[in-house]
Chains A and B, each alone.
Chain A
Amino acid sequence: MPRDFSWIRPEPWGIHVVPADCWIDPARPVDRALITHGHADHARGGHGTTMATRETLAIMKLRYATDDGAVPVAYGETLTLPGAVSATWIPAGHVLGSAQILLEHAGERIVVTGDFKRRPDPTCAAFEVTPCDILVTEATFGLPVFRHPPAEREICKLLSVLAANPERCVLVGAYALGKAQRLIAELRQAGHHDVIWLHGAMEKMCRLYEEHGVNLGELGLVSDANKEQLRGSVVVAPPSALNDRWSRRLPDPVTAMASGWMRVRQRARQRMVELPLVISDHADWDELTQTVVDIDPSETWITHGREEAMLRWCQLNQRRARALALVGYEDEDD
C-alpha cells in the first residue's frame, strides 16, 4: 500500500514542506528556506530565514552579500521545524558545504539529495547513504552514456598536454564554485605544485575554500602576471571567459574544460574546447542508479536533469518513481 506523503509537495518553484511551511531550494523568495548548497540555481537570496550549512551560508554571503536570517547548521545536526518536522543536513559530496536534507515527520523519512556525487573529492565531505521512504534525487547526468572516468586520469591528460606545450598555457574552464577548487586540489594531489593562475572571478571563492581548510597551494592572478610567467602553466577561468576577449592576454592557450558534459564530443565542440576533461561534481549514471539501489526507497522522485531515462530505469527495475519538473535548475554549468 503506497503511503500518502501529503506533507511534502513538489511545486514548480521548489519543494514545499507543508506542515513546517518551509521550502527546499526555492526559486523565489519565501519565509523559510532550507538550502542544500551554494550554487546559484539552488541558493537564491531574499528569504526570511535561510537554513543551511555554515559553508553554504558563507558562500551565499560572498555571492549575494547578504546573510539576513541565516541559521547555520552542522553536518549531522537536526533542526526542529514547526509542524513537528525535523530536518538534518547530511554531506552530499557535491561542493564545499553541500548537503542532502533528511526530513522526518510522523514516522516518515524523506531525503532530498540536492546535487551530489559519490566519488572522492578533496574539497568536500563525502556523500553518506541515508535510508528513507522517499528519495528526492537529481538526475543531471541521468543518461547511461554518462560514465565519468576517474578524475586522476583526466588530470593526467591535462598534465601531459601541459608538459608537451611548454610555450603555451592550458586554460581550463571550470565553474567558479566547486569545480575550480576541486580541479586545483586534484592537480595538487597529482603532484603539480607550480603556481596556478586564476581569472579574477575565481579569487574570492578560492580564498573562502582555504578559510574553510581546503589547501589549494600557491595561486596567482592572471592580471598580476606577464605572458612569460604564464607559459607552461595552468590557468583556471569561468567557462564564459574561455573564448572571451579576456583570454587574449594568455600565451596561445590550449582551451580545456572540466565538465561531465565533455563526455559527449559534440558538447565539447559546441564549447569550442580542444582538450575536454571529463570531471564532474555530479553523480554519473552508474552512481545515480547505484544510489537508488543503496538507499532502496519505496519511491524515487526526480527533481531535474534527464529525468526520462531515470524514470525508465526505475520502471525497468520495478521501482516507483515520478519526475517533478521543477523550474529554474540549470544543468549546463557542471
Chain B
Amino acid sequence: MEAFARLLDALVYTRSRNAKLKLLADYLHDTPDPDRGWALAALTDGLDFPAVKSSTIRNLMSERIDPVLWTLSRDYVGDSAETASLLWPESDTVPSPPSISEAVGHLSRMTRANVMTELPVLLDRLDANGRYALLKLATGAMRIGISARLAKTAFAQAFDVAVEDVEEHWHGQQPPYTELFAWAAHGAPPPDTENLPLFRPFMLAHPLDEGEVDLAEFAAEWKWDGIRVQVVRAGGETRVYSRSGDDISATFPEITQALEIDAVLDGELLVRGSHQGGAEGGAASFNALQQRLGRKTVSKRMRAELPAFVRLYDVLILEGEDLRERAWHERRDRLEALVADLDTERFDLSQVIEADDFPALAALRERARDDAIEGVMLKRRASPYVAGRKTGLWYKWKRDPLLVDCVLMYAQRGSGKRSSFYSDYTFGCWDGDPDAGADLLPVGKAYFGFTDEELKWLDRYVRNHTVDRFGPVRETDKSLVFEVAFDSVHASKRHKSGLAMRFPRINRIRADKPAHEADRIDALRALVRD
C-alpha cells in the first residue's frame, strides 16, 4: 500500500504526460504480482467493492466528526476521500500498512453489515497518504487525471509491447490481470479472446479546425447526434459497448437481441424520431436518447416509446475475419452488403453524403442544425481502422456552436483541480424586458471554456460580488455577462426556464457588456429543435 500511495501522490504532483508514464511504467515493471495488477485495476476504475461507497466515507466520518465541520472541510478540499484521510485520527501505535493485495482482500470480503467496523481497522494501519490511497481504491473514484488510455500506454512502455495489443488483450481480463502480465512481462501466449464478445478500441477523429480536404480522398458522412457504440457478437453472445468500453447491453436489450451474425460493428446509437434522417426512418434528437441512457433495466413502455436502433458506420470484424487492416472503402462495401441482412428495425446504414466539392459540402453542413445533426465526418477512403486518434485519417467537422449572452447568477466551488476556486457558474437570461422589471431565469451551468487566468479573475469577481450564500453556493449581484456557446437547446420540464442547453461552455467573458443587454429567454427558446 505504501508504494501505491507514493505512486498516487507522485502522479498527483506530476504534470508532464511523459513523466506520469514513466512513474506508472516503473511501478508496473518493479512491483510483483498480484499487487501491480490490483494497482492497475484501481487506476483504471476496474475495481468495485459493493460494501464501500462514497456514502460509506460520509457515514464513517459522521461517527467521528461534527457534520457541519465535515461539510466545511469536504467543501474546501473538494474530495471526500482526501478529506477523510486528513481528518482521520492518527493512531498511537506504529502503523503496519497492509499490502495492496491484502487491502483488496479485506475490502472485497467486507459487507454492508461490517464495513463500518472493518474499514476503520484498515485505516488505522495507515498514515494520511496511505488512507487517501486506500479510500480512493475502495471507492473507485481516482480522479487523478490517469485515463485508461494512459495506463495502457504505460503498461505497453513498461514491458515494451504495442499499446494496440494491450488494448486488445486487456478486455475480458479480470483484475489482477495475471495472464496479461504473464504475456507482457514473461512472453507467455496472450489470453485467448477469439470466442468472447470483446470490446475493440474505437477509431477516433481529430477536429477539422480550418482548411479543406479533397473529397476524392475523403468520404463524408453525417456525424449523427447519439452515442457512439460498438455492437459485438461472438460465441453466441452479443454486447453493446459505449465509447469508453463500458458494457451497456442491459440498457438496450432490443439491440443485443437483434444481431444474429458474428461481427464487430461500429455505429451511432439513436432512438426513433423525425429528425436526423427525416420523417421516415429518422432519429430523434440527443435529448430524447438521453432519457434511455444510464438505466440498469428498461421498461417495456420505455422501449415502445423510445425504440433504439444503431446507424452503422463501419465493420471491424465479420464472421471471424478481421477487416481492420483493410481500406475504409473495402470495409464500406462489406458493410453495405451486410446491412441488407440485418434487422431493419434495429440497424440502418449511415449514408455517405454526396457532394460535388468541398464548398458544396460546407453548404450541406450549414443545414445540419435544423436536422439536429452534430456535423460532418470526413474519412480517408484508404484508411485502415486504427485504434485511437491518428492524424490525417478521420476528421470531425462539427457545426458551429450557438451563442447567447447570459448573466452570471450563482457560482460554486469546483472539485478536483478547481477546488477552492469558484468555477461552476449558473447563468440566466431575462424573462422579459429587464428595464421593465423582468427577472433572470437560470438557463444553464458551465464549468469550462475559460483559461486559468480567467478563472482566477472570475474567482475574485465572484468573491467581490457576492450578495448571498447558500452553503457552498454564492449568489452574485448579477452584473457579469457571459457569452455562452452551446451545441443545441431542448425543451425540459426539469428546469424552471423550460429549457436545457447541451454542452454549454463560457465562450467569452463580456465584462464590457451591461447585464440588462444580455439575451432574453425568448431568443433561446427560438433555437429549440426537438
How close is A215's CB to chain B, nearest CB, in angstroms?
Answer: 33
A-chain residues with CB within 8 Å of residue B78 when the two chains form the complex: 266
A264 with B82, Cβ < 8 A, contacts A144-B73, A144-B87, A309-B69 known: yes
Do the beta carbons of B420 and A266 come within 8 Å of each other?
A: yes
A328 to B73, CA, bound (A): 23
* Chain B residue contacts of A265, Cβ below 8 A: 9, 12-13, 79, 82, 132
- Complex: A270 Cα to B13 Cα, angstroms: 10
The distance from the CB of A287 to the nearest CB of chain B, in whole angstroms, is: 15
Determine if B15 is an interface residue (Cβ-Cβ < 8 Å). yes
* A267 with B420: CB separation less than 8 A: yes
- Report B66-83 CB contacts with A as 1/0, cut-off 8 Å: 101100110011110011
Taking the closest CB of chain A, its distance from the CB of B58, in whole angstroms, is 15
In the complex, B417 has a CB within 8 A of chain A: yes
Within 8 Å of chain B (Cβ to Cβ): is A125?
Answer: no
User: Is A204 an interface residue, CB under 8 A from the partner?
Assistant: no
Looking at the assembled complex, report how far the CB atom of A252 sits from the nearest CB atom of chain B, in whole angstroms: 12
- In the assembled complex, B402 has its CB within 8 A of some CB on chain A: no
When C-beta atoms are compared, the residue in chain B nearest to A264 turns out to be B77
Q: Let me know if B86 is at the binding interface, CB within 8 A.
A: yes
Q: Which residues of B contact A275 (CB under 8 A)?
A: 13
CB 8 Å contact bits of B417-436 with A (1 = contact, 0 = none)? 11111000000000000000
A263 within 8 A of B: yes
Closest CB-CB distance, B377 to chain A, in whole Å?
36
Whether A269 contacts B417 by the Cβ 8 Å rule is yes
- Chain A neighbourhood of B132, CB < 8 A: 265
Contact among B13, B72, B76 with A274 in the assembled complex (CB-CB below 8 Å): B13
Q: Tell whether A266 pairs with B79 under 8 Å between CB atoms, given A144-B87, A145-B87, A275-B13.
A: yes
User: Is B340 an interface residue, CB under 8 A from the partner?
Assistant: no
- Complexed CA–CA distance, A200 and B165 (Å): 53
User: Size band of the A side of the interface?
Assistant: 20 to 34
How many angstroms between the C-alpha atoms of A289 and B437 in the bound complex?
A: 49
Cβ-defined partner of B69 (8 Å) among A144, A269, A270, A276: A144
CB distance B14 to A266 under 8 Å? no
- A316 part of interface (Cβ distance < 8 Å): yes
Complex interface bits, A316-331 against B, C-beta within 8 A gives 1, otherwise 0 = 1000000000000000
CB distance from A27 to the nearest CB of B (A): 15
Most chain B beta-carbon neighbours within 10 Å: one of A146, A263, A264, A266:
A266
Count chain A CB atoms within 10 A of each CB in B69, B78, B417, B419 and give the residue with the most.
B69
In the complex, whether B65 has a CB less than 8 A from a CB of chain A is: yes
Tell me the bound Cα distance from A276 to B9 in angstroms.
10
- For residue B172, CB closer than 8 A to chain A, the reply is no
Evaluate contact between A144 and B417: CB separation under 8 angstroms.
no
> A7 within 8 Å of B by Cβ?
no
Is the Cβ of A143 less than 8 Å from the Cβ of B76?
Answer: yes
Asked if B416 lies at the interface with its beta carbon under 8 angstroms from chain A, I say yes
Q: Using Cβ atoms and an 8 Å threshold, which residues of chain A touch B421?
A: 270
* A188 proximal to B (CB < 8 A): no
Asked if A313 is an interface residue, CB under 8 A from chain B, the answer is yes
Q: Are B417 and A270 in contact (CB under 8 A)?
A: yes
In contact, A306 and B76 (Cβ under 8 angstroms): yes
Whether the pair A145, B73 counts as a contact (CB closer than 8 A) is yes
| Set of chain B residues within 8 Å of A268, measured between Cβ atoms | 12-13
A108 contacts the other chain (CB 8 A): no
Residues of A contacting B77 with CB < 8 Å? 145, 264, 266
Per CB-CB distance, the 3 closest pairs between chain A and chain B, nearest first, are A145-B86, A266-B419, A309-B72
User: Which A residues are within 8 Å of any B CB, using their own CB?
Assistant: 143-147, 263-270, 272-276, 306, 308-309, 312-313, 316
12 pairs across A/B with beta carbons < 8 Å?
A: A143-B73, A145-B76, A145-B77, A145-B83, A264-B77, A264-B420, A265-B9, A268-B12, A274-B14, A276-B13, A309-B68, A309-B72
